[in-house]
Homo-oligomer: A and B are copies of this chain.
Amino acid sequence: MVLPPKDHPRYKSLLAREKLVEASDVVANQGLIAHGRGEAFDYLLGEQTCLPALSAIKAASSAILAAKKPVISVNGNVVALAAREIARLSEISGAKVEINLFHRTPERIVGLTKMMKKVGIDALGENADDKIPGLSSERAKCCSDGIGSADVVLVPLEDGDRCEALVKMGKKVITIDLNPLSRTAQTAHITIVDELTRCLPLLSDFVKEKKGVDSFDNKQCLSDVLNYMAERISS
């Protein structure tokens, strides 16, 4: 991995890019392109957690605290970028972790399972024995012990079709997506428009302290984020 200079003003962003390129055997090429889209939106956010995102993080904490069976669904990008942050949230919240891929191959599932094991998590995913209705075969696969029976699912960096399918299954869906205009962002019940490694520790802290918010309006939150971005661009 080519580490960027520590005093570079965009150190964290460059480090994230290198982490993904380094993990290119378990990250889909489409995942690299998706990361670039996220980088652009994060640039517009000033690479910091905005106030509307903070309220979404609190709403997510409430949902996870109220869940009977919370599950965190992770893909190649999520593991490459934030395996440790996911592990901490899983430990604090008791949520299981399931490796669930849009571009699913056995090799990638095995590689990502190993990466999660390194940070102390026995992730579900290898024995996918259940299906998300309404999706084509490979993309529908999930675990009955994980996503299949979850009531609350945190799916960071998820595809729009799959996010919609989870909502249709009646699950409460929380996503993390830097693009407030994406179909995933628009479809989920709670959308945290923030960078993964920045918001996951905040979410874990709120869950640990059993803090949250009672009422939350996702449409309003996304509109607030868009206005925040627009103001930053024009100034």
Contacts and interface: CB of A to CB of B under 8 A. Distances in A.
Interface stretch (A39-47, A90-98, A119-127, A132-140): A39-47
Contacts of A17: 30, 33
Number of copies: 2
Interface stretch (A55-63, A196-204, A222-230): A222-230
A14 to B, nearest CB: 10
A179 interface: yes
A35 interface: yes
Nearest to A232: B230
Contact of A21 (B30, B35, B38): B30
Contacts of A230: 230-231, 233-234
Contacts of A210: none
Contacts of A32: 29, 32-33, 36
A84 to B, nearest CB: 22
23 contacts: A17-B33, A20-B33, A21-B30, A29-B32, A32-B32, A32-B33, A32-B36, A33-B39, A36-B36, A36-B37, A37-B37, A37-B39, A37-B40, A37-B43, A38-B40, A40-B40, A40-B41, A40-B179, A43-B181, A226-B233, A226-B234, A230-B233, A230-B234
